[in-house]
Amino acid sequence: MSKYAEDYTISEMMAAVCSLQIKNDDVAFVGVGIPLMAGAVAAATHAPEVIIVYEGGGVGAKSRRMPWTISDTPTTDNALAATAMHRVFGDQQRGFITVGIIGGAEIDKYGNLNTTTIFGENGTYHHPKVRLPGSGGANDIASSARRTVIVMRLEKGKFVNKVDFITSPGFLSGPGAREKAGLLGDGPSAVVTDRGLFKFDQETKEMYLEAIYPGMNVEQIKELIDWELKVSPQLYVMDPPTVEQITVMRTLDPMGTVLGRKSLRGEIEPFDVYYNSLKKSYQSRTITL
């Protein structure tokens, strides 16, 4: 049997690619959504010693259940520490967090992220076209984690020349700008999308296409991006997720709560289906402490 999965969704591919950005010796801060799943997959596969830190204060949990947010109860199941939000963010500002993974709604070529507001025509901060959640901890992660990984879907109008609102700083206006602003972290190291993986040029700090997913094509990707996208001369096609990665994801997230298979469609599962599905998921996993 092939080690690669044949049947997988794009969200699962994104989570798998994102998980590979986490290394065994990382202390990783993971945000809501695909980043949460990427952390769980990394810990269950190639990075068993990674310490996942959640914003609410959970450190190094070993849980049979998937956290759905950065502060719900699984974030401290069998944890190494259950501490406070200001404590883990202080640890990050101090330099202990080696990688932070965050999502975004709008991004520019320097990796500046917007999750606050889309102004629209004649819109202002207080009277925008679309209000988004705001920073949460993303600004702090983008400011002070030693490196950040960004996860977002590549859709027309989201990879723009200038974001409406810099919620989380990337390289700001280019080389030297982070240092001048006084930021501690090194800035974004990768952008994981639903079509390919992007990285940042060491000199120009500009985002470029590093690799594409199976079946994707560069020209289509270029059309979705507002700036003149540069492509790596060593561009390659990435491997699909492994059977092992997909098995972990589907066991941990049987209802697709995190990867959005159901929740995005607004389906509501009856309570008993919910209860039985979670019960079964917990029973199928053994945790060694």
Question: Which residues are known catalytic residues?
Answer: 55
Q: How far is the CB of 17 from other proteins (least distance, A)?
A: 20
Q: Closest separation between CB of residue 97 and other proteins, Å?
A: 12
Question: Is position 254 an interface residue for other proteins (rule: CB under 8 A)?
Answer: no
How is residue 88 written in tokens?
């883990």
Q: By CB under 8 A, is residue 133 in contact with other proteins?
A: yes
- Judged by CB under 8 A, the residue of 9, 10, 23, 77 near other proteins is 77
19 is an interface residue for other proteins by CB under 8 A:
no
Cα 285 from Cα 43, distance rounded (Å): 14
Which residue of 23, 64, 147, 250 would you call a contact of other proteins, by CB under 8 A? 64
User: Which one of 23, 46, 65, 261 is in contact with other proteins (CB under 8 A)?
Assistant: 65
Q: Is residue 36 within a helix (H) or strand (E), and if so which, with residue range?
A: helix 34-44
Does 178 interact with other proteins (rule: CB under 8 A)? yes
Window of 128-136, 195-203, 206-214, 237-245 that interacts with other proteins by CB under 8 A:
128-136
Residue 161 has a CB neighbour count (10 Å cut-off) of 9
d(CA 17, CA 1): 21
Of the candidates 11, 19, 21, 168, which one interacts with other proteins according to CB under 8 A? Answer: 168
**Quick one: how far is CA 137 from the chain centroid?**
13
Give, to the nearest 10 degrees, the angle between helix 243-252 and helix 10-19: 110
To other proteins, the closest distance from the beta carbon of 45 in angstroms equals: 21
Rounded Cα–Cα distance for residues 180 and 287 (Å): 46
The radius of gyration computed from the CA coordinates of the chain, to the nearest angstrom, equals 19
